[in-house]
Structures are given as C-alpha cells and as structure tokens.
Amino acid sequence: MVDTPTHGLAFGGDKRGKVPIYDNKIWGQPSNFLNIMPTNVAGVTCTLEEKFGPYFAEEVWTTWVTWLGDLVNKDPATHKGDLNSWTSAMDMMNALSLLGFKTGLTVFQLVNSLVFLGLAKMPSPVEVADWIFDHGKLGAYRGLRQLCFSCPDLGSGRLAYMIVYNHLDQFLTEDDKKILGFSPIFVEHLLCKVVWWESHLVEGKVSSLDKMAASIDLPHEHWISGENKTNQAAFPFPFSSDPKELKKTITTIMVCV
C-alpha cells in the first residue's frame, strides 16, 4: 500500500488514502512467504529477523560469491568475461532453498532478473522448454495445452515450445522483437497469458480464444511482414505454419532428445 492523500477513492484507494499496488486479477494470489512478516507453518507471524536473517546467512553469501566468480565487486555492464548459465543460477537458488524462493515462478523470475541484470546468460529455448515441462501445473505448460499441443513427455514438451518459439522468431520483424524484448523468457511469459486471456474472456462472457480464432478467415489470409507497423488490424505473424520449418524443428528436437 502507498500513501496517496490527493487521490483517495477516485483511484481505488480506501478511506485512509491508501491505494493497492498489487492486483490479484493480473498477478494472481500473492505468496505468504513474500510478505515482510509472513506466517510460518504453525500460523505464527515471523519477526523481521526470522524473515530476512536467512537471506544474509554466511552460507548464502559464500554461495553467491562462488557462483559470481570474477564478477564479484565488478560492474556487469562493463564485464567482458563469460557469464554463468541460466540453469546454473536456477540450480544455485534451488540448492539454497530460501523461504519464498524454493520452487515455482518466484525462483524462475528471480533467475530471469539475473539475466536482465547482466549476471547470467540468457537461457536457450530448450532450457526454458524443459523448465516449462517440469512445471506442468503452471501457466506456460497450460498455455501449450490450450493451443492443442500434447505434451506427455519431455521430448513432446520441448517440441511444442520450440514450434511456438521458432514461428515467432522466424516471422516477427526485428523492430517487433526489439519492442517485445523477444527471447526464450518472453515466449514463456507469452504462453502464460494464453490461459489468462481465455479465462477472462470466458468469465467476462466476451468471447473465447477458440471463437476469436474461428472468426478469422484463414483461407483468404494474405499476411505481409511488417504491415502491422501501419495497420492496427494486421497481425505481426501468420497463423499458418510452414511444413518445412515444422519438419526442421521436429528433426532438431529428436536429435536433442
């Protein structure tokens, strides 16, 4: 909550002039363990020392220093050496098993932040695909299922993700990629929004993704690269896939698996 005495109720605040800065409808249910003073398994509220103390323990400090290597006390923006992998950062956080950063999206987003801060390498598409498959209850995996992909095993999970990733990588313009921050991380985030939009469209009795897709006249689609820059009704990529490109993706994944 933040103080906004001049805004008040007009901006969704309460009678005290407080405005919520967290929207559950967008971000989902917040984790108790991310509170400043969370409750433990016994329902007892943790003190500030109990909450933040473990984050500054010697084990955590030495683990971070070891992982950073020659990046310690250096500016990532000017660092010329090689960076640790995204997967190694994920492994480090999982091993530390810190409260609030043990599993799921919180660790995923923290490690993604290390990439954006220049402390770790951007993950490869396969690294992200494997993470999605290992977290089958989360949004990205459900998004692939919503798009009618069947992902019963790791190989099919990788293939489903790579088909989406390669299609966007092939057809999005460089300007679009720059605007979107296109990357393997971006595609995971995009897939998360598939089920989000589906649920909100259906709950709002507006439409559904299936109905919207069915309303598009695909047989007469004449997609032109970059047309979306000047035509807001144009799509940034075609809805039909090139069979040759699909075959390349399938062959690549089969070799990897």
Instruction: List the pLDDT tens digit at each of the 257 positions of the chain.
Output: 444 444 444 445 556 666 666 666 665 667 788 888 888 878 899 999 999 999 999 999 999 999 999 999 999 999 888 999 999 999 999 999 998 888 788 899 999 999 999 999 999 999 999 999 999 999 999 999 999 999 999 999 999 999 999 999 999 999 999 999 999 999 999 999 999 888 888 888 888 888 888 887 655 567 899 999 999 888 899 888 888 888 888 888 876 65
Tally of domains within the chain: 1
Q: Is residue 205 part of a domain?
A: yes
153: domain range?
Answer: 123-256
Nearest to 25 by CA among 142, 188, 197: 197
Q: Is this structure's pTM higher than 0.75?
A: yes
**What beta strand segments (E) does the chain contain?**
2-3, 18-19
Q: Is residue 145 part of a domain?
A: yes
Q: Is residue 71 part of a domain?
A: no
Q: Is residue 97 part of a domain?
A: no
What does R_g of the chain's alpha carbons equal in angstroms? 22
Q: Is residue 39 part of a domain?
A: no
Q: Is residue 90 part of a domain?
A: no
